[in-house]
Amino acid sequence: MAIIKVERPKLTAGEKVYFGSIFKGMVITLRHAFKSLLGKSTGAEALNSSGMGITMQYPEQKWDDQLPEYYRGAPALVTDELDRERCVSCQLCEFICPPKAIKITPGEIPSNDEWAKVEKRPKEFDIDMIRCIYCGMCEEVCPEQAIYLRPDYVITGTERSEMVHDKKRLYEIGGKRVGLVNKWNDLK
C-alpha cells in the first residue's frame, strides 16, 4: 500500500491567532439562530415544520401523509373479507420474534363452528408492545398472511398491562384484509 503523507496545512499568521475563524464561526451560528427565530430555518419548508428549527411539532403536526407504504408500525392481526380469523396459531411468529414479544395460546375451533374446517385458531394472542421492536419478522414468517405491521405508531399507555395488546385489540388495529389465503381454499 502506498503511503500518502498528509502535510499539515500551512497557516498564515492571522489564522494562527484563531480569532478570525472563531469569529467567522460565531457569525455562522448566529445566522442560524436568527433564521430560526424568524421562523425561516433552512429546510423547514420541505419538512413542513413551523420554521422554528426543522423539527415537526409532533402532536399538532403529523407526518402521516408522508408515511411510506412500507412503514412498519404496530403489528396487528387481520381478518379476511368474511371476518374470519386468519391466524391459525401456528406460533411461527412467536418463534421468530427476536425480543419474544408474542405469546400465543393455541385453541381448537369447536366442531359446530361454521368454519371448523380450519380446526385451529388462537385462544389468546398477546403482543407486548413494550418488547416489540417493529422488525416485521412476524409479518414475514406468517404462512397465513394473518399478521401485518400497520402504520399505527402511537402506542402509548400508562401501565405495563395497557401495553400488552390482546387478541381483541390486535384485531381492532388490524381490521380487514382481502385476498385468498390457502386455508380457506377447499381445493388445497
Partner 1 sequence: MDTTLLIAAAIKIAAFIGITMTFVSICVIFERRFSAIIQDRVGPNRTMIPLSILGFKKDLALPIGGLTQPVADGLKFILKEDFTPSYVRKFFFWLAPVLVVVPALLTMAVIPFGSPMEIGGTFIPMAIADLSVGPLFIFAIASLSVYGITLAGWASNSKYPFFGGVRACAQMISYEIALGLSVIPVLMFFGTLNLGHIVEEQVANGWLLLPLWNDGGFIVSSGYWDDPQSAIQRLLLMVPIVISFVIFTTSIFAETNRMPFDLPECETELVGGYHTEYSSMKFALFFMGEYAAMVVGSALIVTLFLGGWSIGFGIDNLLPAGAWWVSLLHIGVFLGKVTFFILFFVLVRWTVPRFRYDQLMNLGWIVFFEAALINVFLAALVIAYPSIGLTGVLIGFILLTVVTILLIKVAKGATEKPSATAV
Partner 2 sequence: MSEDAPANTATAEKQLPKDLAAEKGMVNVQIDGKWIQVPRGTRMIEAAKMVGTEVPHYCYHPKLSSPGNCRMCLVQMGMPPRPAPGAAPEYGDDGFQKIGWMPRPVIACANTVAENMGIRTTGDLVETTREGVMEFLLINHPLDCPICDQAGECKLQEFSVEHGRGQSRFKETKIKKPKNVDIGKNIRLDDERCIMCSRCIRFMDEVADDPVLGFSQRGTNTSVTVHPGYRLDNNYSLNTADICPVGALTSNDFRFQMRVWFLKETKSIDTNCGTGANTVIWTRGNEIFRVTPRQNDDVNSAWMPDSHRLAFNTLQTDDRLTSPLVQKDGKHVGTSWMEATAKAAEGLGMCQPNEVAIIASGRMSNEELYLTKKIAEALGTDLLTIVPRLEESDGKLISADRNPNTTGASLIWGTDDPAAKIDAIREGVASGKIKSLIVLQEDLLAEAGFKAEDLEKLSHLVSSHTHANPTATHAKVVLPSVGFAEKRATYVNVTGRLQRTNQAVIAPGETRDDWESLAALLAQLDQEYETPASVDKILNSLASEIEAFKGQTFGSIGDLGVQITETGVTIPLLEQEKARVESGQVVG
> Among the candidate windows 28-36, 70-78, 113-121, 164-172, which touches partner 2 by CB under 8 A?
113-121
Choosing from 11, 14, 20, 33, the residue that interacts with partner 1 (CB under 8 A) is 33
Q: Is 36 in the site for partner 1 (CB under 8 A)?
A: yes
* Residue 85, strand partner residues: 79
CB proximity list for 179: less than 8 A, separation 6 or greater: 80, 145
CA 67, CA 81: separation in Å to the nearest integer?
A: 25
Residue with cell 387478541: 167
Residue 145 within binding range of partner 2, rule CB under 8 A: no
Binding mask 52-81 for partner 1 (x = CB under 8 A): xxxx-x------------------------
Q: How far is the CB of 77 from partner 2 (least distance, A)?
A: 14
**Closest by alpha carbon to 184, among 92, 83, 105, 75?**
83
Nearer to partner 2, 88 or 149 (CB): 88
Could you say which of 15, 20, 22, 67 contacts partner 1 (CB under 8 A)? 22
CA distance 3 to 113: 77
Please give the helix or strand (H or E) that residue 31 lies within, else none. Answer: helix 19-37
Residues engaged in binding partner 2 (CB under 8 A) = 88-92, 94-95, 106-108, 111, 116-120, 143-144, 182-183, 186-188
